[in-house]
Structure 1
Amino acid sequence: MSSKDISPRLFLDDEFEETKIVPDKVVCLGIEFPSEDARREYFRAELRKKLPELKQIEGFPIGEDDDIINLSDPPYYTACPNPWLNDFIEEWEKEKVELEKEGKRKANFEVKTPYAADVSEGKNNPIYMAHAYHTKVPHPAIMRYILHYTQPGDIVFDGFCGTGMTGVAAQLCGSENDVKALKEENAQIGVRHGICSDLSPIASLIAATYNLKFDPKTFERKASRILEQVEKELGWMYETEVDGKKAKINYTIWSDVFVCPSCGNEIVLWDEAVDLDKEIMKDSFPCPHCGNTCSKKNMEKAWETSFDSLLNKTVTLNKKVPVRVNYTLSGKRGEKDVDSYDIDLIRKIENINLSEISTYKLQEGYNTAQPIRSNGITHTHQFYTKRNFIYLNKIYELTKCNPIITIWFTSIIQNSSKMYKFRLDRKGGIVNGTLFIPSLNIEQNIVKLLHSKIQDIKNTFYNNRDNSVISILSATQLSTIRNSSIDYIFTDPPFGGNIMYSELSSIWESWIKVVTNNKEEAIINNVQHKTLFEYQTLMNQSFKEYYRVLKAGKWLTIEFSNTSASVWNSIQNALQGVGFVVVNVAALDKKQGSFKAVTTTTAVKQDLVITCYKPSDAIIEKFEKSEDKAKTAMDFIEELLVHLPVHLSKGESTTAVIERSPKILFDRLISYYVQKGYAIPMDAQEFQKQLRERFIERDGMFFTASQAIEYEQKKEKCSGFVPMALFISSEAEGIEWLKRELQNPQTYSDLQPEWMKNMLPPKKGDVLPELMSILEENFIKDEEGNWRNPDPEKAADLEIIRNRRMMKEFNMYLEQAQKPKAKRMKDTRLEVLRYGFKECYKQKNYQAIVTVGDHILESLLQEDEVLLQYYDIASSRV
């Protein structure tokens, strides 16, 4: 077979051509077209004209103009910033007027309190499962929030949309059956409009196929024709021979080859480690050549060098060999060891020239380092056997220019690669969140994979599609969306260094030939030189844009999925820093965890949901015009109280709402004043005095008069009351909180969500250690992974260990402070300073107290009476 035979081209013939049907006229953004094809052709031409201007927008993807145009279905979906978003917003605003006339929405609609209930939704939904992605929120969970915060016709936005579940949820709010299944009281059935954008081209493409107009029958017909065409031409690649008869290969198992550390001979891992009769995989085994005990831990991989016709140079990859074939013959499945027929077939395929096919070089990164280091892989085509790569190229050439067909193709990209792991039960899969290639992998038959995916894609159909629009945009610059035009935002942004999206998406995006521009990717990534500081800056810019496009008085819901206290604090600080007011933190249980969530001992079972609102125009205007900022402060607090939940249930009891405590209310006020650049008009004592004069206090919480009545009524109906939770704004408070929580032993994953909910920002200059550090220093972990309070006898031992650690850390502070050009230390642990000052005082080392005291933040020293007491005494004795 020559390179000409397998060169990528569109090989449609007369048999493949669709039957021509005269379509109905199409109206799009006020323009009438004779067909969808005509609409698509017109707007693609318009998009091409706009590309030079659009390329100036942050986040414009990396790709050729033709590839971007061919991937797009404008104006509904563009594989670049969508220039028609404001046109859709204008059209939808006009639609709202008609809905109001029909009595389907209210002009003065207002949501006063947040959706405060914890949410639990499974992932086993056809829409959720059709195409893999790094993270997703089940759309029924998002529907609950949209139904609470919006009314029919409202515009919902998600700037980190991933696979577009927010758009799906917005549209399914118009499905009576789907809404009723949620059993949400007072839910208004009616379609909401979605605007979904993401930095990732593959994410936006998946979002488009889940949200835009879709005819399942036409899709099935086109997909089946493609498979018939390619199978006719390349089906011989998946044939084997059994008892002299041709059989169809379902999959082939490949094995790494290793080198014995003793004799240096090659060992095929499959031959020695896998026992199919006993259904076991051995961790260690004797070398078949010398008898030395071998395992993957003490063996090195074998490597082989060959000529790569696609790269036009020799390459060195880890050596893999085919070992087992699963086949179908006369309708029955069977399995056999690889024989000479299979070897000859693979050699024939290996000799095919690929010089006319394209590939992408792997970017340097955190996840990409693994296949580069472990397997020698430098380009995306090397993730596939040559057979699968040739087959995939043939199919891709027939799927271009049609988003739904392209996504059907990309849905099997991961499972058709070398990343698909062999398991004894044959239920393989890839390791999510990685680019890991296992030592035993399964090479699947492409046609069989795609056949099974036809039904999966068909099952994503639902009524009310075509009410969302999709774009590639960086959330840091939403320049194609006008100010104050969005009614509600639900978003699931990247959190810290959890997932390296652009790296993990590079395999998909190499096929669609439009790649993420990761300059504005909001992650923590050493390779991209993005620390927590850069991440915070990017998130701050994103939330600033969210604040700009959201209407005043409207709501923002953010899903948070990260165990890091520093990331949690940075998110809350960023939100408040741009003007949002945080009112509630609840839990979202997605039921089925990712690989990391399932396998690590520090896994967190639940994500958290942060709810906040943009202050009303009335409050913003009062702040700008009022000269009496103290009076205006209480107006701000009144609006905040109105937005807070009155009552939270915990089982059959009612639980206190910590956001109603005077400390939290004062923190929210200070954050808003600082963000706006206003002088703080009162101290905490004066604030609490005015709070008590103007509002009603119940159980340590403050309410408006009407809210206090509602609270009392609901409290009477509950069997018990859970008092105000301990705040966690310092290490000492965290320890006390854990002592109370661990009266009954709990795992880390049980504790962590509640810990995050009850955290407050620590004092400036203080560092709150991570939960795990505090647990390890102060509590006991049993064999089952449960943490508990230490026994009295063991508590003393733990205290000694902890004190030694703290003194070691204090001495580091002292060492740093003693340097000739030492500056003030911005981040120190308050508990360490307290302990260090106490020990130095005992030892009469007053100079150490003064030296460290002079080099920590002055506010931290002045505001902590323990530190200040030791420092003043030490200063008088130096």
Structure 2
Amino acid sequence: MTKDKILCLGKEFTTEEERRAFFRSELRAKLPDLKSIDGFPFGEDEDIIELSDPPYYTACPNPWLNDFVFNWETKKAVLSNRMDNFLVSEPYSGDVNEGKNNPIYNAHGYHTKVPHPAVMRYILHYTQPGDIVLDGFAGTGMAGVAAQLCAFPDPETHYRIENEFKDLGLKPPVWGTRNAILSDLSPIASFIAYNYNTPKEADSFKKETQKLMAELEAECGWMYETFHTNAIKGRINYTIWSSVFSCPQCSGEIVFWETAIDKDKGAVLDEFLCPHCGATQSKRQLDKAWVTIFDSAINQSIRQAKIVPVLINYTVSGKRFEKVPDENDIALIRKIEELEIPFWFPKDRMPEGDEARRNDRDGITHLHHFYTKRNNYVIASIWEKASKIPHFRWAISGIIQRANKQHQIAVSRVGGEKANAGGKTAGHRRGTLYIPSIQVEFSVFELIYERLKIIQKALLKRSTPVAISTQSSTKLQLKDESVDYIFVDPPFGANIMYSELNFLWEGWLKVKTNNKKEAIENRFQGKSLFEYQFLIESCFHEFYRVLRPGKWMTVEFSNTSASVWNSIQNALQRVGFIVSNVSFLNKKQETHSARTSSTAVKQDLVISCYKPSKDFVDKIESSGSEVIVWDFISEHLQHLPVHSKREKSTTAIIERSPKILYDRLITFYLMRGLPIPINAKEFQDGLKQRFATRDDMFFTSVQAAEYDEKKALAPNFVQLALIIGNESDAIEWLKSRLRSKPQKYNDIMPDFRIATQSLRKGDTLPELQEILNENFIQETDGSWRTPDPSEAKDREILRTKVLLKEFNEYIAIIKQPKAKKLKEVRVESLRTGFKNCWDNKDFKTILELGDMIPQNILLEDEKLLMYYDIAKDRV
């Protein structure tokens, strides 16, 4: 019986090894040209080639992406479950609740990760079998896993998604494989993604790893032994190490664990007594104790903050015990410290950065300083042994953060009410390289055995090829209009310093992130919010270019910053996308910061946006008439969700409000440099004449009928609450309140004050009386009501004059000699003035004033930032 040939991009091979050798040779020849591509990583050529599994995965820009696209396109024609006229007219608007507790999610940690079943919902809604999905900020590759598992989901996920689609009134999902292209700037991210998306037979993997672990046990098992009694030895699970401080009064050493931890209550003491002189001390008052050692890895003496072992957790005959380290344990540690590690391990100096060098002050300056000598030795040994088994190295990389000095003790579970609830260890502080005063040195053996069990459950048993590239998304090599759907979870401002945090992993890979095009805010990289927006916009521009017209992109957002939110929204719209919906993605399991911080994000936002059809854009750009405005609105309304339901109630869809519809229209025209052919009053009148109104929302006639039908099943209507953050919000809040019945100033004022608790710094909110005078009508009895259409037009003219007068006063102030930046401004005056400057093509004034107002006002206001950014391109 002859063995099946392996077919890869039109070429036949006898074995995977033959295929890999051929394409590695091809990759080696292509490397000189690839090095000019944005995001080409730092590393030696041979290390990059050794890490790669071409053409499927390259630890550099992947030169075969278009070949995969061509191959997948030819296969679309023969798929029986594809529709010729497949069209998605509205977004997936349901809120997604998906937990993190599944074997695939838990197989390998990363800073951010979206559970693959959550991504499956979007892929199933926006695509059909055979379609091409792109994730340009792929991270661990969950979009690739999701695309593949659309063909063979587990029964529970299949059942849940089918039911959710039915509840949302969507067409049943068409199950089947989608093809995925995954790209990320980080070599460790693409390495994790490759292993997640490459099938591996669990039994063979188990045999391979058991053999290597047996070798490791024979070589290094003794390093984690401790005496239970004189004759019986136990196996160390973890050792707790404590920082040592020096008393400023007597210079005596204070072991923090012994002196400052109340083990009965499970708490860190605010004050404690020096065990030598009895002086009352606090951690803040203490000096660190230091040791000077010779570091043979870098061939120099180094000074480090002193730490000592204080507790050992170990197992004997299946039972756990604890002990204070005895002289044998200290002797064992000393013996290991004196050993030379005979295997390669990374010794790199930590790069410059807020996180990467935060531990310099404690003498933790190089990558190997993050580990005890014992753990560094064992990891180096197994890393070398696993050199030919990528999935095993993947498992080892998965323990790096738990095996180093970042792992901290959960003091609250040492004693008191929470004693041993969930164990005494607490993991590392996510998003940082923080090393705590009380550290946990886990046994590398225990970590690897645990990780292997999880990975064996997570291994894909079958898969379709996924194309993976390591590069920046600012310049993709894909052809125009070549992908059918994009899902991205991009970096957000200064949330996470990816390249700095990933250095701990990438040192082991010998291939490191080229952070020149890393889309973050970072002081050491010289990247402010402006640079971040420029980079993220460059990526979105590429996504717009490669996405087919009429298709969709989903952007996940997790950040509390209004300025970052506006940067994302502006970038999307500047490149041509039209935002259709914003919904929630709840990953259920909260991070430590989400549990303890009042400002931490507890639910992610999901932005749904689409690329308009080419015919539609050409039609708009070729005509400036008002008639085309209504073509735009009609087209846009058909891309909005028709009905939104939460907890069995119908909820308002903010994108269907006249204010947001007009904002979308203005943005569409401005971003293309077109004159706006209609004002707000004419627009609102036109909406009422041409479209159906339901609950202050606008629909096409067909959509209105569908809305009525669905609302009948959930008749309770919930208007979205409005918190006043600026003057525009205040006007909408008052309109909503006065629409039902007129009210007097004294009736309005108390609630108005309560609602205005989240004003932006630097944004002047006029007094309630002034807002009422400019925007509403007062009756003879003193009550205020909303104006009728003719009154509204008069009020708008009056208000515009007032706002422009105030705007001109700002201009006069900044033109004075030695003028200082304005500390407070009225944003509505700026909006009106910027629009007036735009109409008069006075772009210089927009820039001059934009540079003199509080930066947060400019960055956090979507309209101001839009005018400012476009003006920069016009001057």
Equivalent residue number for residue 445 of structure 1: 443
Equivalent residue number for residue 45 of structure 1: 25
Deviations 1:110-137 (A, max 9, x none): 0001111111111101111111100111
Offset of residue 824 of structure 1: 8.5
Cα separation, 2, equivalents of 1:454 and 1:630: 64
Equivalent residue number for residue 127 of structure 1: 104
Cα separation, 1, equivalents of 2:335 and 2:736: 69
For the residue of structure 2 that corresponds to 1:822, the secondary structure is coil
Cα separation, 2, equivalents of 1:22 and 1:248: 50
AA aligned to 2:454 is D
Q: Are 1:219 and 2:216 an aligned pair?
A: no
Aligned residue runs from structure 1 range 439-838, under 5 A = 439-478=437-476, 480-624=477-621, 626-723=622-719, 730-731=726-727, 733=729, 737=733, 769-770=759-760, 817=814, 820-822=817-819, 828-830=825-827
Contact 2:199/2:461 (8 A) holds in 1: no
AA aligned to 2:226 is T
Cα separation, 2, equivalents of 1:370 and 1:817: 41
Offset of residue 538 of structure 1: 0.6
Query: Of 117, 121, 126, which residue of structure 1 is paired with 2:94?
Result: 117
Equivalent residue number for residue 181 of structure 1: 160
Offset of residue 588 of structure 1: 1.0
Offset of residue 769 of structure 1: 4.6
Deviations 1:126-170 (A, max 9, x none): 111111100111111111111111111111111011111111111
Aligned residue runs from structure 1 range 24-103, under 5 A = 24-99=4-79, 102=80
Q: Please identify, of 307-316 and 461-470, the stretch whose mean Cα deviation from structure 2 is larger.
A: 461-470
AA aligned to 1:179 is H
Contact 2:346/2:508 (8 A) holds in 1: no
Q: TM-score, normalised by structure 2?
A: 0.81
Deviations 1:776-835 (A, max 9, x none): x99xxxxxxxxxxxxxxxxxxxxxxxxxxxxxxx9x98997485143886983438999x
Unaligned runs of 5+ in 2: 167-171, 415-419, 738-754, 769-806, 832-848, 858-875
AA aligned to 1:468 is V
Q: Are 1:257 and 2:244 an aligned pair?
A: yes
Aligned residue runs from structure 1 range 107-256, under 5 A = 107-176=84-153, 177=155, 178-182=157-161, 183=163, 184-185=165-166, 186-245=172-231, 246-256=233-243
Cα separation, 1, equivalents of 2:552 and 2:187: 28
Cα separation, 1, equivalents of 2:697 and 2:715: 19
Unaligned runs of 5+ in 1: 1-20, 742-757, 760-767, 779-809, 835-851, 861-878
Offset of residue 59 of structure 1: 0.6
Deviations 1:683-707 (A, max 9, x none): 2233334434433333332222211
Q: TM-score, normalised by structure 1?
A: 0.81
Offset of residue 343 of structure 1: 1.7
Offset of residue 270 of structure 1: 2.1
Cα separation, 2, equivalents of 1:135 and 1:712: 40
User: Structure 1 313/180 Cα, relative in aligned 2: closer, same or farther at 3 Å?
Assistant: same
Number of paired residues? 759
For the residue of structure 1 that corresponds to 2:32, the secondary structure is helix
Contact 1:486/1:550 (8 A) holds in 2: yes
Cα separation, 1, equivalents of 2:475 and 2:327: 59
AA aligned to 1:155 is I
AA aligned to 2:367 is T
Cα separation, 1, equivalents of 2:625 and 2:830: 37
Equivalent residue number for residue 18 of structure 1: none
For the residue of structure 2 that corresponds to 1:227, the secondary structure is helix
Offset of residue 405 of structure 1: 1.6
Cα separation, 2, equivalents of 1:118 and 1:679: 37
Equivalent residue number for residue 355 of structure 2: 367
Offset of residue 40 of structure 1: 1.2
User: Structure 1 133/358 Cα, relative in aligned 2: closer, same or farther at 3 Å?
Assistant: closer
AA aligned to 2:718 is V
Cα separation, 2, equivalents of 1:152 and 1:818: 61
Cα separation, 1, equivalents of 2:474 and 2:736: 42
User: Structure 1 769/533 Cα, relative in aligned 2: closer, same or farther at 3 Å?
Assistant: farther
AA aligned to 1:566 is S
Cα separation, 1, equivalents of 2:520 and 2:733: 31
User: Structure 1 854/50 Cα, relative in aligned 2: closer, same or farther at 3 Å?
Assistant: closer
Offset of residue 422 of structure 1: 2.0
For the residue of structure 2 that corresponds to 1:515, the secondary structure is coil
Cα separation, 2, equivalents of 1:659 and 1:727: 17
Q: Please identify, of 303-312 and 709-718, the stretch whose mean Cα deviation from structure 2 is larger.
A: 709-718
For the residue of structure 2 that corresponds to 1:196, the secondary structure is strand
Contact 2:762/2:823 (8 A) holds in 1: no
RMSD: 3.3
Contact 1:112/1:642 (8 A) holds in 2: yes
User: Structure 1 109/343 Cα, relative in aligned 2: closer, same or farther at 3 Å?
Assistant: same
Equivalent residue number for residue 106 of structure 1: 83
Cα separation, 2, equivalents of 1:326 and 1:30: 56
Report percent identity of matched pairs.
53
Q: Are 1:291 and 2:278 an aligned pair?
A: yes
For the residue of structure 1 that corresponds to 2:485, the secondary structure is strand
For the residue of structure 2 that corresponds to 1:98, the secondary structure is coil
Q: Please identify, of 326-335 and 291-300, the stretch whose mean Cα deviation from structure 2 is larger.
A: 326-335
Q: Please identify, of 181-190 and 252-261, the stretch whose mean Cα deviation from structure 2 is larger.
A: 181-190
Equivalent residue number for residue 434 of structure 1: 432
User: Structure 1 738/623 Cα, relative in aligned 2: closer, same or farther at 3 Å?
Assistant: closer
AA aligned to 1:571 is I
Cα separation, 2, equivalents of 1:56 and 1:854: 35
Cα separation, 2, equivalents of 1:487 and 1:273: 59
Contact 1:433/1:595 (8 A) holds in 2: no
Contact 2:762/2:825 (8 A) holds in 1: no
Deviations 1:471-498 (A, max 9, x none): 11211111x2111011111111011111
For the residue of structure 2 that corresponds to 1:596, the secondary structure is helix
Query: Of 317, 320, 343, which residue of structure 2 is paired with 1:333?
Result: 320
User: Structure 1 656/72 Cα, relative in aligned 2: closer, same or farther at 3 Å?
Assistant: same
Query: Of 392, 401, 419, which residue of structure 2 is paired with 1:405?
Result: 392
Q: Are 1:273 and 2:260 an aligned pair?
A: yes
Cα separation, 2, equivalents of 1:856 and 1:563: 22
Offset of residue 463 of structure 1: 4.6
AA aligned to 2:192 is I
Query: Of 364, 369, 374, which residue of structure 2 is paired with 1:382?
Result: 369
User: Structure 1 827/201 Cα, relative in aligned 2: closer, same or farther at 3 Å?
Assistant: farther
Cα separation, 2, equivalents of 1:392 and 1:23: 38
Cα separation, 2, equivalents of 1:721 and 1:411: 47
User: Structure 1 656/162 Cα, relative in aligned 2: closer, same or farther at 3 Å?
Assistant: same
